[in-house]
Amino acid sequence: MIDGMYQVKRISRSEFVPIRNHKYHVRVWGEAQPDVAPLMLMHGWMDVGASFQFLVDALTDTFASGRQIIAPDWRGFGLTSAAPVDHYWFPDYLADLDFLLDHYAGERAVDLVGHSMGGNAVMQYAGARPQRIRRLINIEGFGVPRGRSSSAPKRYAYWMDELKALNRGEMKLKAYDSVEAVAQRLIKTNPRLGRDQAARDRAQWLAHHWASRTAAGQWEIQGDVAHKIRGATVSNLDEVLALYEAITAPTLFVDAAEDSLAGWYDG
């Protein structure tokens, strides 16, 4: 433990699970209990399962005792192996989650939490597999904006142009000179991580899990640059609403007061 860094209260272990030709990295707290629903925590875009450490530490002993808590790194994020592809398709997240629940929950229904991109994924998954979800929490996971069919020609052209830019090595994730610089990047994205020393300690701790040191001594975000490629198809609002309507689990939606993404959706 580095001096001044956040002190973890509940210790997790790392597991690697073969899922659809990936080696999925999963952070696990506690042991499986036959009569207690596992709690699955699904992170957002360019994030990692370790970000949930602070939430897990904040849970009461009554809630956390005897409950297995599971936070995977989505494909191409964190320590989960990147796909040998040049772009990602959103339905793969749903299928990956289905396989993960097979592994960790079997026939048991789970309590499922998703943040941001993970919130979108768990909402759609809960509509496709309603019987597998006991309770559902969506944290800032409504979006993307309504797609318009008229935008398809430009969108497909843009998608192909981005693929070529990636192939030419023109799309990269920024490298940082130190882990402290990574922590400052986290604080820039989420200013609450810089409000006091305790928050800055969290940023320092998370930086060690959000990025890794290269052989050249720089720190790079643990995310596949191909995640920056925009999807080729327009979002289908009718399809998403049909999935929402199929959800049967009690559902809580958490909308942050300081949501930096709201401006992107234009209402």
Tell me the pLDDT tens digit for each residue of 144-197: 778 888 999 999 999 999 999 999 999 999 999 999 999 999 999 889 999 999
Peptide linkage before 144 cis (omega within 30 of 0): yes
Identify whether the C-beta of residue 243 lies closer than 8 Å to the C-beta of residue 124. yes
Residue 163 vs residue 267, higher pLDDT: 163
Q: Quick one: pLDDT at residue 85?
A: 87
Average pLDDT, the chain: 92
For the cut 70, the answer to whether the pLDDT of residue 4 exceeds it is no
| pLDDT mean over 224-250 | 93
Cα distances from 121 to residues 18, 52, 139, in angstroms, run 20, 17, 11
Q: Quick one: pLDDT at residue 266?
A: 58
* Strand arrangement of the beta sheet that strand 211-213 belongs to: 175-176, 219-221, 211-213
Cα distances from 129 to residues 104, 185, 244, in angstroms, run 16, 37, 11
Cα distances from 53 to residues 6, 27, 34, 114, in angstroms, run 10, 9, 24, 14
Q: Quick one: pLDDT at residue 3?
A: 47
